[in-house]
Structure 1
Amino acid sequence: MIRCRMLFLAAAVAVLAGCASSVTTSTAGAQQPKPPGQIAAGKAEVLWLGQAATRITTPGGKVIVIDPWLTTNPKTPADFKQLAALGKVDLILVTHAHGDHLGDAPALAKLNNAPIYTGGGMGQTLVSLGMVPAALSQRFGKSGTIAPFGAGGPKITAVRAEHSSELVWKNPATDKDETHYAGEPVGYIIELENGFKIWHMGDTGLFGDMELVGERYKPDLVLIPIGGHFTMGPQDAAIAVRDMIKPRYAIPIHYQTTPQLRGTPAEFSAALGASARTSVLVPEPGQKVDF
């Protein structure tokens, strides 16, 4: 069994059986992604930056950033509020168009010349509004699987999420906010080069087909919203993990960023119960988990 060295939120209740190799604090200066040759075989790194913002460094050295709401995110560590602090970014995934998920994706895409992939129909709206050039907006659909880095690289599948996806955009000509169609919300199954699978669920409520997605893709790790109000709360998230998906690991996200998001990791772990087979990992924003 891989030895565990975990740092948790003080109030969290962690389930540690068979857990990831380590959780460590990251800083912008010290945590630049390594070239592929310097990454240990079979290792992956997940850096959580508050709300749903996540950076995944794959075993082959590809850097995938999901829902990068960073510069105005109250939970993002100060070191990472400068987008350049993320280091090189190869690809950006956005689960839906709400500001706390789309966030800084257009600016990050242009900074790194990295494409934004959207699985629910948001891409054309980003281009039509002039938020990104067409070359940086790539589309696919639910149940569609892409291999953006070619054979042998990570594979990404868009899957259902139960939420909404309107895009609020300030028109520079009128200085007024406008609301635009932005497709449908999605989650992403990311299969890394070594076969390890991560389900970033974005924002979602509980729905029965989570069991189908779990059976079809068998994710090892889920990043699951627990805050409530706009998404699942701790009790529904526990049902999803324990009874439907049954992953090896779960990292709770999308909680306590705003007053409405009251759910806590401790409540999630308590609802999950001691008999659950899933290890709950609770990094603080700015901490990374190595697998």
Structure 2
Amino acid sequence: MSVRVTWYSHACLHMDVNGTHLLVDPFLTGNPLAAVSADQVPADYIFVSHGHGDHLGDTVAIAKRTGATVISNFEIHNWLAAQGLKKLHPHHIGGGSNHPWGRVKLTIAHHGSGLPDGSYGGNPCGFLFTVDGKKIYHACDTGLFYDMKLIGEEGIDLAVLPIGDNFTMGPDDALRAVKLLEPAKVLPIHYDTFDIIQQDPHAWKDRVEKETSAQVVILKPGDSLEL
């Protein structure tokens, strides 16, 4: 029994939960840091946090290739259905569902969600996963919000937080997020993909570990950690 978490860069996360492949925000094609290609990455379930192209990414192509079930908000669900996808599970903020691999619940996120063709993408979200007895919170694209304290009351084993600034939380607010969430471990994401979100994750790690009890795990794209 194990959970293996792999960061493919940007916000794209892969979780191998006892052989079931969960893939979040698969922006791979056109991503200069992507550690895997869209025609190689495994997926049984794909999770789409919002409609922006650097998160929706290769969802359609990967789902058609693998037959993965795509979980997203209702508006993105309808848009994906119009693209020809059949295996879809619609959600909305605060709603969760149980699956053979565990449970997922959608959390709030402060961001936008317009789809690449200009269609309305509904509310952006984060994901709270319960897998193999572990709680993993993927904040996806968001600014800081105080309700992270409520999410932290779940007992977070791993928080996946953006630190890039400009489009999401920057290092200062991401540190405040750690203080609200009180996770055991933190994985910084959504940085260095583009010049405008360049950050020093090691400097952030030093600050977080000095001011909180969380352990910061810095991964290179394609690297993994075990929970």
Structure 1 residues 230, 205: CA separation in 2 closer, same or farther (over 3 Å shift)? same
Counterpart Cα distance in 1 of 2:205 and 2:96: 32
Q: Find out whether 1:123 has 2:123 as its counterpart.
A: no
Distance in 1, Cα, partners of 2:109 & 2:169: 11
Length-normalised TM-score, structure 2: 0.95
2:12 maps to 53
For the residues of structure 2 that align with 1:238 and 1:132, how far apart are their CA atoms?
Answer: 41
2:12 equivalent to 1:68: no
Distance 2:211 2:121 in 1: 41
- Aligned CA RMSD, in angstroms, stands at 1.4
How far, CA to CA, are the matches of 2:165 and 2:212 in structure 1? 21
Counterpart of 2:226 in structure 1 is: 290
State how 1:206-221 maps to structure 2 within 5 Å.
206-215=144-153, 217-221=154-158
Q: State the alpha-carbon separation in 2 of the partners of residues 224 and 132 from structure 1.
A: 32
Unaligned runs of 5+ in 2: none
Looking at structure 1, the residues matched to 203 and 172 of structure 2 have their Cα atoms a distance apart, in angstroms, of 8
* 1:7-86 equivalences in 2 (<5 Å): 41=1, 43-58=2-17, 60-77=18-35, 80-81=36-37, 83-86=38-41
TM-score (norm 1): 0.75
Q: Does 1:156 align with 2:104?
A: yes
Q: Higher relative CO (CA 8 A, sep ≥ 6), structure 1 or 2?
A: 1
Q: Which amino acid aligns with 2:145?
A: F
Q: CA deviation at 1:147?
A: 1.1
CA contact (8 A) 2:96 2:103 kept: yes
Amino acid at match of 2:164: G
What runs of 5+ residues in structure 1 fail to find an aligned partner?
Answer: 1-40, 170-178
Instruction: Pick the structure with greater CA Rg.
Output: 1
Map 1:132-143 to 2 at 5 A: 132-133=84-85, 135-143=86-94
Cα displacement (A) at 1:212: 1.3
Instruction: Give the number of the structure whose residues are more often strand, by fraction.
Output: 2
Choose from 226, 232, 241 the match for 2:163: 226
Q: Percent identity?
A: 32
